[in-house]
């Protein structure tokens, strides 16, 4: 199994960065929580110009960027760490693309990021 999560691009600001949390991260309200809390220093997070959008890799999602029935543009993240192979990630990505096209009539563009290709422009394909 591969972790999959999604964020509403229209609710994000600036670049999304996968990084380690610093000691002064802004507290963030996570799905299911009642109070905002900052990530732990050194924890792997995704963040934008406002705050963390996902903690503990792609596990604890922020309420601010959650997908809703109103979402028009989103980024879906599939994470694959060893022992998962690149082929398994590619197959899961293609399967997710087909499901979105079939059940959501969505326009899907995807990229697989790694140490060589480590960024993608999320805004270039939004209409």
Q: Which pLDDT score is estimated for 127? A: 55
Q: What is the pLDDT at residue 121?
A: 85
Q: Is the pTM of this model over 0.95?
A: no
**Structural domain boundaries enclosing 50:** 4-125
Name the domain count of the chain.
1
Q: Is the distance from CB of 46 to CB of 16 less than 8 angstroms?
A: yes
- Segments in the chain below pLDDT 70: 125-127
pLDDT of residue 125: 62
pLDDT of residue 122: 75
CATH number of the domain where residue 84 is located = 3.50.40.10
Please give the structure tokens belonging to residue 18. Answer: 């996968």
Is there a cis peptide before residue 126, judged by omega within 30 degrees of 0?
no
Nearest to 75 by CA among 113, 126, 122, 111: 122
Q: Which residues of 6-40 are buried (b: 16+ CB within 10 A; e: fewer)?
A: bbbbebbeeebebeebeeebeebebeeeeeeebbe
């Amino acid at each position: 199994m591969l972790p999959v999560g999604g964020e509403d691009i229209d609710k994000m600001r600036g670049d999304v960065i996968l990084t380690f949390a610093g000691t002064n991260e802004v507290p963030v309200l996570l799905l299911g929580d009642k109070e905002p809390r900052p990530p732990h220093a050194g924890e792997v997070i995704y963040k934008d110009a406002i705050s963390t959008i996902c903690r503990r890799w792609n596990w604890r999602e922020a309420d601010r960027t959650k997908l809703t029935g109103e979402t028009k543009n989103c980024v879906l993240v599939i994470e694959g760490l060893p022992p998962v192979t690149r082929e398994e990630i590619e197959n899961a990505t293609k399967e997710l693309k087909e499901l979105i096209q079939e059940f959501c009539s969505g326009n899907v563009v995807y990229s697989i990021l790694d140490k060589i290709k480590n960024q993608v422009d999320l805004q270039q394909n939004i209409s």
